[in-house]
Amino acid sequence: MAWQGTIVFFDLQTTGLDTNSCHIVQLGASCEHTIFNRYILPRIPFDHGATKVNGFTVRDGQLFHHGEPVRTVSLYHSLKSFIKYLCRFPGPVLLAAHYAWGYDQIVLMRVLRKFSLFEQFKQVVSGFVDTLPLSKKLYPRLKWFNQPYLVQHFLGERYNAHNAVEKAKELEELFWKYWKPYNEEISEFTDWFYALK
């Protein structure tokens, strides 16, 4: 039986790895060739080494990605636009990310609550799928489970692992074209909202 509803693949690029304090600088998503992408000017400096990893910098109040200026939208308006984007798809909508439970979900939930948008978000999204433990269950004999390795292993290609849209698109392709998990496996690695605190 086919999955009922929609799975939207997403990724965040941030100023650092602290889920309690990092700021989102890019929110990207992919679902059935429909792309969402917003850049956000952070209000705090990047952690040491973050710029080297993701290529984002701020200079004179402007966000740059690998030296190229990018158009930014406020975090609040980016989140509102994201909810509107998610409304396009038939429900229930699940959001999927690689290491969602340990990072992307935590950061996204924190900022949604900060702007009092969580209740509105919850009207559209039913939960989060973490593809990291899912990949470990599906392919326990693989050497590594980070997304760049999985993309190289299954798709035979490299991609910009620090661009949120590219990461979301590659994860979507892995999920539907190669892994094709059963409904029970998807449910097993979904953190449904009724279980969230």
pLDDT at 50: 83
Number of domains in the chain: 1
* This prediction's pTM: 0.94
As a whole number of angstroms, the distance between CA 83 and CA 146 comes to: 28
Q: Do the domain assignments include residue 123?
A: yes
Residue 66: which domain range?
A: 7-191
Q: Do the domain assignments include residue 139?
A: yes
The number of residues in the chain equals 197
The phi, psi pair for 27, rounded to 5°, reads: -120, 115
End-to-end CA separation in angstroms for the chain: 31
Low-confidence ranges of the chain (pLDDT < 50): 1, 195-197
Residues 145-188: tens digit of each pLDDT? 999 999 999 998 877 778 999 999 999 999 999 999 999 999 99
Q: Do the domain assignments include residue 197?
A: no
CATH of the domain at 78: 3.30.420.10
Q: Do the domain assignments include residue 111?
A: yes
Q: Do the domain assignments include residue 2?
A: no
pLDDT at 62: 97
Q: How far is CA 74 from the centre of its chain?
A: 18
Q: Do the domain assignments include residue 96?
A: yes
Q: Do the domain assignments include residue 129?
A: yes
Q: Do the domain assignments include residue 22?
A: yes
